[in-house]
Amino acid sequence: MITVSIVDDEKELRQSITTFVNGAAGFKCVSAYTSAEAALAGLPDDKPEVVLMDINLGGMSGIECVEQLKAKVPTMQILMLTVYEDTDQIFKALAAGASGYLLKRSSPTMLLQAIRDVHSGGSPMTSSIARKVVASFQKSKQTGGKQANQTHLSPREEMVLGCLAKGYTYKQIADELSISIDTIRTYLRRIYEKLHVQSRTEAVAKYLSQ
């Protein structure tokens, strides 16, 4: 059973998501909040495995909420669920600690699969969002950006990071690059050290935002 919490100030959407999450086999919605402030107070005790987070909330933004939540509960997996698809918002959310980025117009089936992916270690993104992230990654490589020169990632490390940017799970990366999951973990440790980060989402956000 994957436990889920929702942070969104739109009543109808919040209720709709709660209903279909609870109606899906293997999922349970344990709480729903209308504001970032309320979520910060309640989520550490609720201990959901996946949080669905809106960006545009009434007071504190969802991105700020993610950053503070990850500081309190580093293991909490957060999936942004928003109408925004501009690159700045994507990178800010990933840099804050979000594990995925989905648009609100996504189908219920897609949302449930994204929750599963986040829970199993992936970084799911709506296809249009993934294209923006990959395009930014490719542009950074083509222009030989300052960040690439400073961090000296090897070609293989860049390939692993590129797969992470596409939202691949460790198993999918292993299949794509024909390497073992243990080898992927070794590459990730090196990438984290070179980029001075502590998670895959921080690594992708920092690398692509330069």
Q: In 10 A of CB 130, how many CB atoms?
A: 17
Percent of the chain with pLDDT over 90: 34
The alpha-helical segments, DSSP class H, found in 73-145 are 87-96, 108-119, 127-143
Mean pLDDT, range 108-136, rounded to an integer? 78
> Of 21-30, 69-78, 178-187, which gets the smallest average pLDDT?
178-187
Residues 6+ apart with CB under 8 A from 141: 148, 158
- 78-108 pLDDT, tens digit per residue, is 999 988 877 778 778 877 888 888 888 888 8
